[in-house]
Chains A and B, each alone.
Chain A
């Protein structure tokens, strides 16, 4: 599927929704083992091998940091690109400045 910053994507195997923060071009992005989609489509089975779950408000990225997704609705599936699970991005906590 084509990634573009700002696009919202839905899981076809669980409740997960993400928004693309960073990333472009053709990417094989799955959640719970099935392709994520722009339009809500028919639901598939959750693959037990990709069922670690997503956490609300966390950012997920691939190893080289070229793709970054924000979880805007949590679910049971694991986000992955080409079968490689995405990791939660560690962010440095900033003091509130407003």
Chain B
């Protein structure tokens, strides 16, 4: 198995259809396939063991991804927002590497660190071809197709390995080949080093839905691309949707989203008020909330468009709360909730989310986390309700143990978020002589809001048990997030001197 099959089938079926629009240039499936083949030749010649990409999305990203697959080498894209020192440490781990890097990044790569170093423009030039030939599929059946470095919010980045059968299992199990209409276009605004960036390329090409790349996300550029490129589908991470909505609320110019049919989001918890606002603001758009991890080749559960509309303003609170769930597991995966002792829990019982299926790799370089039966512990806590909807309650490692009682920060954050004066909030555990750990809340207020710590403590006391009341409250200008909107809880703890 090899992920290049995805592009090969598309190129065989409709070679002249536009596959990708990048910086205003259109690339057909046939052209991408021919270029990927040419890239595979360059990669094989170089003797490199890895193919890496250090830069923003471009046509070269797609060509490097498939070229690497055809050459049988792992594609290991790097986060271009890391420091030079961090980046160079990762490049060392990929030695010898065929590295495609943005012009401004090329200068920061030490001499001799890469077997081949070239810019995206140079790769496009060197692989500009419409000629395809027969090629020998790499016979490494267990081959690693993609290697992604986890964001390293806790220590040195780990290298998550996604094998060809994981990624292909995900695509073949969830996407119908060539199912997109010819006018469909998908706006891709996640960076190439994120699992959602990889899965978006594979899914869109297999569905034969044109990809429109947005290399640098800003709300204004996102809206402009939607209207100019007649975008029908898009995927965003929660912060992007929050910013798009804020932009629409502030802007005097009406946005043209008339072609947008489907908006999917994932990569973190979407605040409930943002989903509700989006449903009201875009009444004709189909919303899909996707839950997945790097180690599971993207989505493992989703809340689909019908569920969103049904839950929105539903009088039955048990139905309405589904808007805060991540929906149901895909038909191709199994999900279980387990207690700390490993026993499988029933409906509505909170425990750790375990997942199993062809797309689940659960593997890092040198370490496999799946058990002998193939189950992967996600380190997410959650429960499944009577109707099969999966609700997440945060990362297990974020759980605060106060006097022997387990408290999920998300539960307290949700109550605080209801306060009209609060713009953003993070609850973490800090050391306490009395309790072992106790709760601390970092609060970002809206510009004109006047709120005291007492007000907030009373709010929590009124809604939850007294053990949930944050002992420490600090008002801050902003909370620390990484570039994809993931809250850096370790840094929040630092605000309280721990």
A interface, CB within 8 angstroms of B: 5-6, 8, 19, 21, 56-59, 70, 72-73, 91-98
Contacts and interface: CB of A to CB of B under 8 A. Distances in A.
A56 B1 CA distance: 17
Contacts of B8: 72
A96 B174 CA distance: 8
Given A19-B5, A56-B177, A57-B176, A95 B13 contact: no
10 contacts: A6-B165, A56-B177, A57-B13, A93-B179, A95-B304, A96-B262, A97-B299, A98-B199, A98-B264, A98-B298
Contacts of B304: 94-95
Contact of B176 (A8, A21, A91, A97): A91
B9 A57 contact: yes
A12 B310 CA distance: 51
A97 B5 CA distance: 21
B244 interface: no
Contacts of B330: 94
A58 B172 CA distance: 10
Contact of B203 (A56, A58, A72, A98): A98
Interface string B172-199: 1011111100000010000000001001
A60 B298 CA distance: 26
Nearest to A55: B177
Contacts of A97: 174, 235, 264, 266, 288, 290, 292, 298-299, 302
Given A19-B1, A56-B13, A73-B12, A92 B331 contact: yes
Given A56-B178, A57-B177, A57-B178, A96 B203 contact: yes
A6 B168 CA distance: 10
B457 interface: no
B12 A70 contact: no
B264 to A, nearest CB: 5
Given A19-B1, A56-B178, A70-B172, A95 B9 contact: no
Sorted nearest first, the 7 A-B pairs with minimum C-beta distance are A57-B177, A97-B290, A6-B1, A98-B199, A97-B299, A95-B288, A98-B200
B305 interface: yes
Contacts of A73: 12
A21 B358 CA distance: 11
A57 B8 CA distance: 11
Interface of B: 1, 5, 8-9, 12-13, 137, 141, 165, 172, 174-179, 186, 196, 199-200, 203, 207, 209, 233, 235, 262, 264, 266, 286, 288, 290, 292, 298-299, 302, 304-305, 330-331
A60 B176 CA distance: 13
Contacts of A72: 5, 8-9
A56 B172 CA distance: 13
Contacts of A5: 1, 165
Given A6-B141, A72-B9, A96 B233 contact: yes
B1 A94 contact: no
The CB with the most chain B CB atoms within 10 A, among A57, A70, A73, is that of A57
Contacts of A21: 172
Nearest to B174: A94
B143 to A, nearest CB: 11
A70 B239 CA distance: 38
Nearest to A8: B137
Given A21-B172, A57-B177, A73-B12, A96 B288 contact: yes
A21 B266 CA distance: 28
Nearest to A56: B13
B292 to A, nearest CB: 8
Contacts of A70: 172
Contact of B9 (A56, A93, A94): A56
Given A91-B176, A95-B264, 12 more contacts: A56-B13, A57-B177, A58-B177, A72-B9, A95-B304, A95-B305, A96-B175, A97-B235, A97-B266, A97-B288, A97-B298, A97-B302
Contact of A98 (B172, B266, B305): B266
Contact of B196 (A93, A94, A98): A98
Contacts of B292: 97
Contacts of B286: 95
A91 B173 CA distance: 9
Contacts of B203: 96, 98
A65 to B, nearest CB: 13
Given A6-B1, A57-B177, A95 B302 contact: yes
Contacts of A6: 1, 141, 165
Given A19-B1, A56-B177, A70-B172, A98 B9 contact: no
Contacts of A91: 176
Contacts of B137: 8
Contacts of A93: 176, 179
A21 to B, nearest CB: 7
Contacts of B12: 56, 73
A35 to B, nearest CB: 22
A18 to B, nearest CB: 12
B177 to A, nearest CB: 2
A8 to B, nearest CB: 8
Nearest to A21: B172
A19 to B, nearest CB: 7
A84 B286 CA distance: 41
A39 B175 CA distance: 29
A58 B9 CA distance: 12
